[in-house]
Structures are given as structure tokens and as C-alpha cells.
Amino acid sequence: MKSEAKARPASRGRRLGAFVFLSPGLTYLIVLLLVPLGLMVSYTVFQRGRFGGVVYEFTTENFSRLVDPLYLGVLGTSLRIAAVTTLIALLVGYPTAYLIAQLPNRWKTAALVAIVLPFWTNFLIRVYAWIMLLSGPGVVNSLLGTKLELLYKEGTIVAGLLYSYLPLMVLPLYATIEKLDPQLREASANLGASAFTTFRKVTLPLTLPGVMTGCLFVFVPSFGNFVIPEMLGGNKTVMVGNLIRNQFLSARDWPFGSTLALALVAVLVVLLLVQSWAARRA
Amino acid sequence: MSRTRFTSRLPAAVAVAGLALAAAACGGESSNSSGGTSAAAADLKPNADLSKQKLQITVWDGYTPKELPEKAKEKLKVSEVEVTLHATNEEAMTKLTAGGDSGIDVAFVSGQYAQALNAQGLLEPIHPELIPNLANLYPEATQLSYDKGNKYSVPYTWGTTGICYRSDLVKAKPTSWNDILKPPSWADKKVTMMTTERWLALPALKALGYSVNTEKDEEIEKVKQLLLDAKPHLLAYDDTTFGDRLKSGEAVMVEAWDGWCPTTDEKQNIKFEVPKEGSDLWVDTMVIMKSSKNKEAAHAFINYILDPEIHRWAAENINYKVPNKAAMDKVTISPGSLLGIKPAELLNGESLIDLGQASTKYTRLAEEIKAQS
Amino acid sequence: MPFWATYVFLYLPIVVLVLMSFNSGKSVYTYEGFSLKWYGELAGDERIREGLVNTLIVAAGSTVIATVLGTLLAVGLARHTRSKLLDALALMPAVLPDLVLAIGLLVFYGMIQMTLGLHSVILAHGLFSMAFVAAVVRTRLTNADTSLEEASRDLGAGPVSTFMRITLPQLLPGIVAGALLAFTLSLDEFVIAFFTVGNSDQTLPIVIYSMIRFGVTPKINALAAILLLVSFTAVIAGQRLTKIGETRAQD
């Protein structure tokens, strides 16, 4: 037996190995990822059934609906909300990550784990916590004795998204800032650069990949979110995620829902390409 | 190098083949899924052995008495009665229409949704001979426009939509849909409207004197304008927690279904009013899924619900009116309860029906209203 | 100053949430006194209990799928192909928005007329968890020493026995970390489960979602407090475990 195995040409063994290791996972990916995505792609050219479902008759209507001002407006709102969230997350996350990286070693891990911990608790419960804090009779109002209208605004949605995804900004930022050679900054300072110039000319460019990754990590889930606009937005703001969800849950328009979902993916792919292009230039 | 690249393309080729196969499969599907309405009824035996059948029921949260599954199981001698809960019609519909056997035997959905399910051929026709208690229904309840003659659905509860309000916090009792659509300054940002599309449109439709089932574009356009003007004065669009908002005082007037207006709250400061412009008559029904393997038990269950004693118990328990004369004759009306509203008053309301293709107009309307900032 | 503000922002809502779970009053907004009654109510809630059991079933099932397939995939990708395309494909479930995955699967299950249930969620969670396991295991593989594997192959061992005897033990800490990650991700996952679960079985996040939609009650706070405790313990235990694994692997 052994000698037989030995005699086997190496390339055959390698191909067998490739088959053994790759085929189970790839089959799974093909059946449950590529085929469903393919189905969604095919649904984009079909029509909604009278009472839901799909009628397999060709139409381009789903695409023309995409550029309808109503849906473009929703896209704009989603982009704005996700962008504002990402920007704030960056402004809050960068100094936080920077300061964690300056901590003595034994505190670093603890500080980092403390950032991530809330992220590992149920997402819905974190959203619920905000309803509790901000609603009309909520904790903030009863503590302050005020009757402020805090919930159901675009700002509340941003706060909820920021709360949910801030850790995803801090982690990649920390990873790049940690790797920075402190000597570079010292050198810059020794050469007479101000702290700000050092930051702008040395630290920031070197941590740019982390900034990009962090922004992407925050932007993607914010952009497609539907739970937070629903729960913290009082159904008064519609984001792409709500729109997609509604096509499947209330409008029963699977073809248009699929089209919207793929449009969401397209926007994200464009952003990814921009990001990798920027990263290569940096 | 070149060989590894070649072999690496193989899985990609397989993927493409898979897609082609999937596309072929959906092509083949088209002939049977676009098929018309319900096929022939199953052949059911009145004396089937129910102990070999079990029941899976889906119903709104808090819409049946807690002990119902246990009691039904005991009485019907079926092997099991399991209840799952859905929050909205839409949630139930997604799963019931997703394809395949949903595993559900009896579903509770609103009349217009029952109509849509039937149009998709998903419902088992009701076998009246297996439900002798149908005789207990009000005659009017057998002639509702979404399903005349109860061919595929049996009404469970019915009611109307109106304004639910805090009598101690309003300066004037609301009497018109315009009180919600154009709230006076003391109620600004303290009103809610419903988020499900047909009920979102209802106040404006009625305020303008249109039918709740209108398909006319120019009418829907006017409704849209009215609703857009109303939006800045709203607290939220809310289908589920408006009762709590009233109790806490966060809202003072809300669009509400009668049964969910907490008028029996101990403080007795919450009242319900049907605006003078009129409203709808909604009916929540019980339907039997065609895919059910326990159809005899499902019929027995519906018959059990329609039993005067059981239906009365349910009505008192959930505070919704039931279209069952024999049950309503026995019902005890607790203080503040809306169970006293007579069927004749309810029937003034306009029955909601499914609009098929035109229902997309309401979807779009709701999207346009909610997306407006 | 902004440093601490971040932590206050992250923890204040959680602290209030937990405090209010001990409220003796009916409201979640005003604290009336200490009581454990909401925990009692929680224990008696059958729906939550069922949701919890279902969630554990789903998490266990999907973790098994994800760990086995993800590990094999990672080894296959690192050692048996250089295809960038396959790399990207394997990562895709982790990168795509959950809503897109959820809808794709719903459409797919609908087309093959599959009855939805817990199994459909297990398959769905297996998909994205596999991507995470594969990614975690791969980072270990790229750092791992390949000379032992080569030696094993030179001595005539087939790919499978090389994997079982050499690669697998080296990878174990990575696999454990991946499995833990998969399990935790599945426990908390809502969107995909919401779209792919059957009518009759609900996972805990879905139960929580409908509870929140029907209003705020201190019962949710009590549930939240317990879940927080579990997550915190799991994360800290996971940290310790991977650390122990790492030091052992270095020995």
C-alpha cells in the first residue's frame, strides 16, 4: 500500500487533495450562495405575481423603477445616514484607538476587549436600550424632568447605528496605529514638525489603510440596516434596507426586492473598488 | 502555474453550470406556479381518527386565550396543538407564500389576506359539513365582500378602525379623521397613525370621502398630499405599541383598531371613537392551508372555536368582538369594553378587500409617505 | 477626555438597561425599588425558553457545519489552489450584507419548495459562519510552518493523512477560535434567521424582536441582563482559551 502511494505522481495527489479539501465547502457555497444570487439576478427581469410570487415574463420595469425619484431619494437618504454615521465613528474612533495604542501593554488588551464587549451582546437589545433611554417617558426625560422629543428623528437613527458599529471602526484603526513605529513620529518631531504636522504628514497617511477598513466596516452594515430605522426612526425614515424588507414582507414584490438588493450590492462593490484604488494610491 | 490557473477555473465553470440549471428550473416552474385559483377540495372523512392528527396554528400575539391550545387539544383529542405567533399579517404571509409546505394547518389572517392566499391557490376550501357551528355566525358575517359564503375562510373576529384617545389629555373629543391628520396644537407630535399600508391610507381616504378600496389614481394622489401634510405632526407610524403610548401619555390620539384600544385599562381614561366620516369593517379570519396534512383536525378546530361558549370566552379574553351571534348573546361586557358595539354599527364600515395588482399603488403610497423627510 | 467619553457612550445604555431589570415597578422608565420579579416572570415565559432552545440548536448545528467545512476550505485554499477568485468566493458570505444573504436564501428555499424550519436557518448560518471560520483558520495557516507538511508528503503520506496528523493539530487553536466565533455569531444573528426561519420555530432574537415591537417591559431588561452576562463570560472565556491555545501551540 505504502509503496503504491509513493509511486503516485505528486500532481495527482495534489489534485486529489484539492478535491478533498475544496469540494465540500465550494459545493456549499455554490448551492447556498451562488445559486441564490443567480436566482435573484434572474428575478430582476421577471414580473411580480398578482398576489405575490413571480411571473416568469420578461420585463425591464424593475430597472426603470430603480431610477424613479422616490427610490433614488431613499438611496440618497441611506447614503447620507450611513456616511454621517461613518464620519462620526471615525472622529470618535480614531482618538480612542490612538489612545488605546498608547496605553501600557497590560491595559491595552483590557481596553480593547471593553470596546468590543458591547458588540457581542444582542444587537436588538442594544437598540432596545436606546428606546428606553430616549423615548418620551424615557429615562433621559424622567431624569432631566423634561419632555424632549428625542426619538424618531434621523439623528436618533445615526446614534443607534453609531452605537451598534463603533467597535468595528476602533478595531482596524487600533491594528494599524499599533503597528506604527514610534521612532517615525519622534524623527518628525526632531526635525521640527509640530504635533499636528506630524499627525497629518506621518501618522495619518500610515494609518490610512486602517481608516479605510474601519469606514467600510461601519458603512456597509449601516447602509443596509432596516431594524434601526424601524425601531428608532418610528417608521418615519425609509432606508434601502426597509425598502427591500418591505418588498418581501408587505408588497410581496420579489422581483423588485431582488433588484433593490442587487443594487445595494452594486453600490457596495463600487465603494470597495474606490477603497482598494485609494489604498493602492496611498 | 498555468495548470493551477486552469484547474482553479473549474469550480467557476461548475458555478456557472449551477446557475444555468437554476435558471432552467425556474423556467420549468412558470407553468404551474402561475396557475389560477383553488383546485378541487380534498376528500375529507367526517369520522377521521383525530388522535393521529396534530395541529400547527399561526396567530397574532395575544389574540387567543393562553389556555386555548391546551383546552382544544383535550376537547378535540388531537395528538398536539401548537401555536406560533406572528406580529403582522405581512409576516405570516411571507412564510405562507414562500413556497413549499409551511407546516401550518390553520392560519389567522385578515380577510383581504385570506383572499390573496386563496387567489394563489394556497387554501383548502371550507367543508361546511364539518363545521356545523357555522350556523352560530351572524348572517351578515357569511356575506362579507372578501369571501361571500365563507368558501375558504371563517371569520374569527371583526371590528373597525377609529381614533383611540386619552379623555383626560385631549382638549376636545376627536370626531373626525382630520383631528389626526391636522392635529390641533395641543396634540402636535402626539398622534400616531398605522404603518400597514391600507390602514395608513384609511384616515385620509375617509376624510376625503373616498372608498377604502379605491383604485383611482387621482384619488390616491390627493390622499398622498393629505398624508404628506400630516407627517410633520406625527409622533410615529405605529401598528403595535400605540396602546402603551396612550397609557404613558406620550401620545394623546392614535389611529387604532377597536380591540387594541385599551379602553378597559383600570384608569378608565382611554376612549374610542369612530370618526363621523366613517371607517372600515375589518375581519380576521381562520383559513386552512392546502398543504395541511391534518385537514379534518383543522376543521374540527375551527368548529371548536365557533362553539358559543369558546368564542364568548375568547371575545372576553382578548376584548375583540366576534361575529358569532350565539357567543355575543352571552358575552359579559366589562366597564369600558367596546364589545357592546352592535353588528349593525360595524356593518356601516366598508369591508377591505384585496386589490390584486392595484395593491401596489398602496405600497407605493406608503413608501412615498414614509420616505418623505 | 474623549477617551473616557467613548466608554461612557458604549456602557451607559447597558448599565441603565441592567439597573432597570431590577425594578419592582411595572415601568422601565422609573425606578421604584429593588425586585427580582422580572427574572421570575422571564423564567416562566415559555416562548422565551423555546426561543432559547431553538437558538442553541441552530448555533450548535451551524457551528458544526461551519467548523468542518470552513477548516477544510481554509486548508484547500491555502495549500491546494492559488485562485484569487476562490478566495473571494469563500469570503463573500462574510462580506455581503446580511439582508442580501437572507433574501437570496428565502428566494432559493422558495424555489426548491423547501419547508422552512430550524434546518433552513442552520444551513443559512452555516454559510456565513463558514466564511468566518475559514478566514480565522487561514490566518493561522499562513503563519504556520509548512516544512512538517512537506516532510510528511515526502515520506509518502497522502494529503488526508498529512492533514489529520500534521496540519490539524497545528491548526487546533485557530479552529477552536473559529468555532467559538461561529457559535457566538449564530446566537445573536437576527436578519437571516428572520427571513429563513419557519413559522413554527422562532429563535431567541426573533422572539426579542417581536417583544420589542409590542412595547417595552422590564422582562426584556431581565432577559438583556442575562444575555449580557452570558456574552461577557463567553468573550472573556474565549479570549483566555485562544491565549492558552496559542501558548500551547508555541511550545
Task: Identify residue A149 by its one-letter amino acid code.
Answer: E
Cβ–Cβ gap B371/A26 under 8 Å: no
**Cβ-defined contact of A36 to C79 (cutoff 8 Å):** no
Cell representation of residue B310:
369558546
CA distance C180 to chain B (A): 29
- The mean per-residue pLDDT over the stretch C64-75 comes to 95
Q: What are phi and psi of A3, to 5 degrees?
A: -65, -35
Q: Cα–Cα distance between B258 and B321 in angstroms, integer?
A: 9
Kindly give the interhelix angle for B2-33 and C84-95, rounded to the nearest 10 degrees: 50
Residue A167 lies in a domain: yes
N- to C-terminal Cα separation, chain C? 42
In this complex, the residue of A6, A26, A124 whose CB is nearest that of residue C209 is: A124
CB B268, CB B190: distance < 8 Å: no
The whole-number pLDDT of residue A19 equals: 84
Same domain, A22 and A151: no
The reply to whether residue B373 touches residue A77, judged by beta carbons under 8 angstroms, is yes
Our measurement of the distance from residue C81's CA atom to the centroid of its chain's CA atoms, rounded to an integer in Å, reads: 28
Put simply, the answer to whether C97 touches A13 (Cβ < 8 Å) is no
Q: Are both B308 and B365 inside the same structural domain?
A: no
Contact B126, B151 (CB under 8 A): yes
- B373/C contact by beta carbon, under 8 A: no
CA atoms lying within 13 Å on the CB side of residue B352: 27
Q: Would you call A39 and B363 a contact, using CB atoms and an 8 Å cutoff?
A: no
Q: Which chain B residues are closer than 8 Å to C78 by Cβ?
A: none
Instruction: Quote the pLDDT of residue B129.
Output: 93
Residue A2 in this model has a pLDDT that exceeds 60: no
Number of domains in chain A: 2
Distance from CA of A169 to the nearest CA of C (A): 12
Looking at the structure, do residues B229 and B363 belong to the same domain, yes or no? yes
B265 in the same domain as B208: yes
Q: Are residues A117 and A23 in the same domain?
A: no
pLDDT at B365: 93
Q: Domain for residue B291, yes or no?
A: yes
Sheet architecture: strand order including B234-237: B234-237, B191-193, B253-257, B161-166, B270-273
Q: How far apart are CA C54 and CA C47, in angstroms?
A: 10
Chain A residues in contact with B238 by the CB 8 A cut-off are 234-235
pLDDT at B30: 37
Q: Are residues B234 and B331 in the same domain?
A: no
Number of domains in chain B: 2
pLDDT by residue (tens digit) across C22-34? 988 877 777 788 8
Q: Hey, CA dihedral for C240, C242, C248, C251, is it positive or negative?
A: negative
Q: Give a yes or no: residue A45 inside a domain.
A: no
| Neighboring chain B residues of C115 at a CB cutoff of 8 Å | 100-103
Q: What is the pLDDT of residue C231?
A: 78
Which subunits have 3 or more CB–CB pairs within 8 Å of chain B? A, C
Does an H or E element contain B54, and which? strand B54-60
Q: Kindly determine whether residue A234 and residue B33, on different chains, have CB atoms separated by under 8 Å.
A: no
pLDDT band at C247 (very low <50, low <70, confident <90, very high): low
Residues B179 and B263 in one domain: yes
Distance CA A74, CA A232 (A): 17
On whether both B323 and B199 belong to a single domain, the answer is no
Torsion on CA atoms C77, A19, B25, A268, rounded to nearest 10: 0
Out of B8, B85, B86, the one facing C83 most closely (by C-beta) is: B8
Contact A149 B189 (CB under 8 A): yes
Q: Using CB atoms, which residue from C81, C89, C110 is nearest to B4?
A: C81
Same domain, B201 and B324: no
Distance of alpha carbon A48 from alpha carbon A55, whole angstroms:
6
Domain coverage including residue B254: 161-278+355-371
C104/A36 CB distance under 8 A: yes
- Residue B250 distance to chain C (closest CA, Å): 12
Give the residue from C8, C32, C103 with the most A CB atoms within 10 Å of its CB, the best one to mutate.
C103
* Containing structural domain, residue A170: 68-281
Q: Which chains touch C (3 or more CB pairs under 8 A)?
A: A, B
Of A34, A129, A241, the CB nearest to C13: A129
Contacts of residue C8, defined as CB under 8 A and 6 or more positions apart, other chains included, come to: none
- Could you tell me the three cell numbers for A110? 483590557
The pLDDT value recorded for residue C246 is: 58
Q: What's residue A3's pLDDT?
A: 43
On whether both B174 and B258 belong to a single domain, the answer is yes
Q: State which residue of chain A sits closest to C230, comparing Cα positions.
A: A121
Inter-chain contacts counted by CB atoms under 8 A, chains B and C: 89
* Chain C positions in Cβ-Cβ contact with residue A130 (cut-off 8 Å): 13
Does an H or E element contain C170, and which?
Answer: helix C168-188
Residue A59 lies in a domain: no
pLDDT tens track for B272-300: 999 999 999 999 999 999 999 999 999 99
Say yes or no: A163 and A273 in one domain.
yes
Tell whether B205 is covered by a domain.
yes
**Per-domain residue ranges for chain C?**
49-250
Nearest Cβ partner of A136 from B22, B250, B371?
B250
* Structural contact between residues B255 and B203, judged by C-beta atoms closer than 8 angstroms: yes
| Rg of chain B taking only CA atoms, in angstroms | 24
Please check whether residues B172 and B233 belong to one and the same domain.
yes
Task: Verify whether the Cβ–Cβ distance A123 to C81 is below 8 Å.
Answer: no
Task: Say whether C214 and B61 touch across the interface (CB within 8 A).
Answer: yes
Domain membership flag for residue A227: yes
A275 and A204 within one domain: yes
Please tell me whether residues A171 and A269 are part of one structural domain. yes
Question: Are residues A72 and A28 located together in one domain of the fold?
Answer: no
CA distance A177 to chain C (A): 15
* Mean pLDDT for the stretch of residues C216-227: 88
Residue of B161, B197, B199, B180 whose CA lies nearest to B278:
B161
Q: How many other CB atoms are found less than 10 A from the CB of residue B308?
A: 18
More confident residue, A54 or C68: C68
Residue A213 forms part of a structural domain: yes
Asked if B208 has any chain C CB less than 8 Å from its own CB, the reply is no
- Is pLDDT larger for residue A28 or for residue A281? A28
> Is the CB of B8 inside 8 Å of chain C's CB atoms?
yes
From B133's Cα to the closest Cα of chain A, the distance in A is 31
Identify the helix (H) or strand (E) that includes residue A69: helix A69-102
- Cβ–Cβ below 8 Å for A137 and B248: yes
Facing residues of B350 across strands? B280
Binary contact (C199, B96; C-beta < 8 A): yes
B333 C-beta neighbours (distance < 10 Å), count: 13
Contact residues on chain C for A92, CB-CB shorter than 8 A: 2, 5-6, 9
Q: What is the mean pLDDT of chain A?
A: 86
Report the C-alpha gap between A23 and B306 in whole angstroms. 56
Instruction: State whether A118 and C90 contact (CB < 8 Å).
Output: no
Q: Which residues pair with B193 in a beta bridge?
A: B237
Q: Same domain, yes or no, for B252 and B118?
A: no
pLDDT in tens, A173-223: 998 888 887 788 788 888 888 888 888 888 888 888 889 889 988 999 999
Give the H or E element holding residue A185.
helix A182-190
Domain annotation covers residue A84: yes
Domain of residue A89, CATH code: 1.10.3720.10
Residues of A within 8 A of C106 (CB-CB) are: 248
Q: Across the interface, do C80 and A13 touch by the CB < 8 Å criterion?
A: no
Please enumerate in sequence order all residues whose Cβ is within 8 A of that of A217, keeping only pairs 6 or more positions apart, or say none. Answer: A165, A168, A169, A171, A172
pTM of the model: 0.84
Q: Which residues of B touch C47 (CB under 8 A)?
A: 85
Question: Once rounded to an integer, what is the mean pLDDT over residues C171-193?
Answer: 90
Whether residues A264 and A134 fall in one domain: yes
d(CA C218, CA C224): 9
CB atoms within 10 A of CB A178: 16
B19 vs A contacts (CB less than 8 Å): 34-35, 38
B240 with B97, same domain: the answer is no
Residue B249: CATH number of its domain:
3.40.190.10
* Residues of chain C neighbouring B103 (CB-CB closer than 8 A): 115-117, 198-200
Chain A partners of C101 at a C-beta cutoff of 8 Å? 33
Q: Residue A12: its pLDDT value, please?
A: 64
CA distances for B307 relative to A26, A68, B133, B216, angstroms:
56, 52, 6, 42
For residue C81, the chain B residues in CB contact (below 8 A) are 4, 7-8
Regions of chain B with pLDDT less than 70? 1-41, 99-100
CB-based contact B5 C82, cutoff 8 Å: yes
Nearest-CA distance C125 → chain A (Å): 11
Q: Nearest by CB to A237, which of B189, B196, B373?
A: B373
Query: Does A57 map to a domain?
Result: no
Tell me what ipTM this predicted complex has: 0.86
> Dihedral of the CA atoms C15, C19, C21, C24 (nearest 10)?
-170
Q: Name the neighbours of A, counting chains with at least 3 Cβ pairs within 8 A.
A: B, C
Residue A267 grid cell: 453600490
Looking at residue C161, what is its pLDDT? 83
**Same structural domain, A158 and A275:** yes
Q: Do A108 and A24 sit in the same domain of this protein?
A: no
Residues C100-146: pLDDT tens digits? 999 999 989 988 888 888 999 999 999 999 999 999 998 888 777 77
B313 neighbors B64 (Cβ within 8 angstroms): no
Architecture of the domain delimited by C49-250: Orthogonal Bundle (1.10)
The answer to whether C13 contacts A133, with C-beta atoms less than 8 Å apart, is yes
Shortest distance, CA C159 to any CA of chain A (angstroms): 5
Q: How confident is the model at residue A149 (pLDDT cuts 50, 70, 90)?
A: confident
In which element (H, E) is residue A96 found? Answer: helix A69-102
Alpha helices in chain B (DSSP H): 2-33, 68-76, 89-97, 111-119, 178-181, 197-207, 217-230, 242-248, 295-305, 308-318, 325-328, 343-346, 359-371
Yes or no, beta carbons of B250 and A137 under 8 Å apart:
yes
Position A253, amino acid: D
- The answer to whether position A56 is within a domain reads no
A24 and A142 fall within a common domain: no
